[in-house]
């Protein structure tokens, strides 16, 4: 008999891609997608009861308060959703004896390393978002046996407000864009990440895994690539330091992942970010037109 898979955060940027991938990869399973309208994970009793009633075999938890600067301004909400909300999901998963998959972030690290981060590196978040997500990881480890924690970074995708859409929108309005040049990471396409999560589930992976598209760059180089690939070379890109930008949340200057563990477990290596970007732009050029596109974490 097929299993029940519950995806929480199903209407978010990753959630929408993941819903499609899970449904097409696990044809024998019933995949149920919930978001804030169906379950507010901050509400312990209500959310635990609702999950227990469904009795899922697998819970994939990608819901979060992802506005990194918003988290800095509203620490209480950040911890209520990302940490305590995750605890509630983990508690329910443990009561159902369900497998739990939790999405976490590169912002659990401080960026002081000079070579790619491995899963066993000591976390040391610099901002509220990173601290709240790290506490979520700790709850997952505390409450469920054999949980899967997938850390990822710099997401963009078809369905959400994101950096790529933001650059394209601004490039239509301005002659020059200022973009930070002192933060390094790997832009990751949600469609690729969704497939990797599904493969990790198929391999019954447990523990922490770093998952990102290959190669790395700065936001500045990413911005330039977006403009080049979109034929908007006439728009100038001006490098800016994080200090000059002065955003409320401090970001790590270096958050490149070593994804060797994913390769060893599943054989999977995500394609270079530039290839994924090309694919994304070719597929969705006509639809990238978000009204406001904050970078999320």
Ligand X SMILES: NC(=O)c1ccc[n+]([C@@H]2O[C@H](COP(=O)([O-])OP(=O)(O)OC[C@H]3O[C@@H](n4cnc5c(N)ncnc54)[C@H](OP(=O)(O)O)[C@@H]3O)[C@@H](O)[C@H]2O)c1
Q: Report, as residue numbers or ranges, the catalytic residues.
A: 129
Q: Is 236 helix (H, G, I), strand (E, B) or coil?
A: strand
Nearest distance from residue 133's CB to ligand X, in Å?
A: 6
- Residue from the set 7, 13, 179, 288 that interacts with ligand X by CB under 6 A: 13
- Residue from the set 111, 160, 185, 223 that interacts with ligand X by CB under 6 A: 160
CB 106, CB 56: distance < 8 Å: no
- Residue from the set 7, 31, 39, 288 that interacts with ligand X by CB under 6 A: 39
Of residues 15 and 235, the one with the C-beta less far from ligand X: 15
- Residue from the set 30, 40, 72, 121 that interacts with ligand X by CB under 6 A: 40
The Cβ of residue 268 has, within 10 Å, a number of other Cβ atoms equal to: 16
- Residue from the set 62, 83, 249, 288 that interacts with ligand X by CB under 6 A: 62
Residue 234's region, left for phi above 0, alpha for psi from -120 to 50, else beta, is alpha
Nearest distance from residue 176's CB to ligand X, in Å?
A: 25
Question: Using the rule CB under 6 A, is 100 a contact of ligand X?
Answer: no
Part in contact with ligand X (CB under 6 A); list of ranges 10-18, 120-128, 223-231, 277-285: 10-18
C-alpha closest to that of 61 among 38, 82, 46: 82
CB 48, CB 102: distance < 8 Å: no
Question: Using the rule CB under 6 A, is 147 a contact of ligand X?
Answer: no
Nearest distance from residue 19's CB to ligand X, in Å?
A: 11
Of residues 13 and 235, the one with the C-beta less far from ligand X: 13
Nearest distance from residue 147's CB to ligand X, in Å?
A: 14
Token output for 240: 């800016």
Cα radius of gyration rounded to whole Å, the chain: 19
Q: Residues with Cβ < 8 Å from 248, sequence gap 6 or more?
A: 69, 72, 73
CB 207, CB 148: distance < 8 Å: yes
- Cα 56 to the center of its chain, rounded Å: 23
Binding site for ligand X (CB under 6 A): 9, 11-15, 35-36, 39-42, 62-66, 81, 85, 103, 105, 133, 152-155, 160, 296-297
């Amino acid at each position: 008999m097929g299993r029940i898979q519950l995806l929480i955060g199903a209407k978010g940027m990753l959630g929408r891609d993941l819903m499609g991938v899970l449904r097409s990869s696990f044809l024998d399973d019933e995949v149920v997608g919930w978001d804030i309208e169906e379950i507010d994970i901050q509400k312990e009793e209500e959310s635990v009861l609702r999950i227990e009633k469904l009795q899922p075999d697998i819970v994939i938890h990608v819901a979060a308060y992802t506005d990194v600067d918003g988290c800095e301004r509203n620490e209480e909400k950040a911890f209520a959703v990302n940490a305590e909300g995750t605890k509630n999901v983990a508690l329910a998963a443990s009561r159902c004896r369900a497998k739990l998959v939790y999405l976490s972030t590169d912002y659990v690290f401080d960026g002081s390393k000079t070579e790619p981060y491995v899963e066993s590196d000591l976390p040391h978040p610099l901002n509220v978002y990173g601290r709240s997500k790290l506490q979520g990881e700790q709850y997952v480890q505390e409450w469920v046996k054999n949980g899967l924690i997938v850390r990822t970074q710099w997401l963009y995708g078809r369905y959400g407000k994101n950096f790529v859409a933001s650059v394209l929108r601004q490039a239509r309005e301005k002659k020059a864009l200022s973009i930070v040049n002192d933060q390094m990471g790997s832009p990751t396409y949600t469609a690729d990440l969704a497939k990797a999560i599904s493969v990790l589930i198929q391999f019954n992976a447990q523990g922490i895994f770093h998952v990102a598209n290959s190669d790395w760059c700065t936001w500045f180089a990413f911005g330039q690539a977006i403009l080049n690939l979109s034929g908007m070379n006439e728009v100038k890109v001006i490098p800016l330091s994080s200090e000059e930008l002065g955003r409320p949340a401090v970001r790590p200057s270096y958050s490149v992942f070593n994804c060797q563990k994913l390769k060893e477990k599943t054989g999977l290596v995500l394609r270079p970010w530039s290839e994924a970007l090309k694919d994304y732009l070719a597929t969705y050029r006509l639809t990238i037109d978000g009204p406001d596109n904050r970078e999320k974490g």
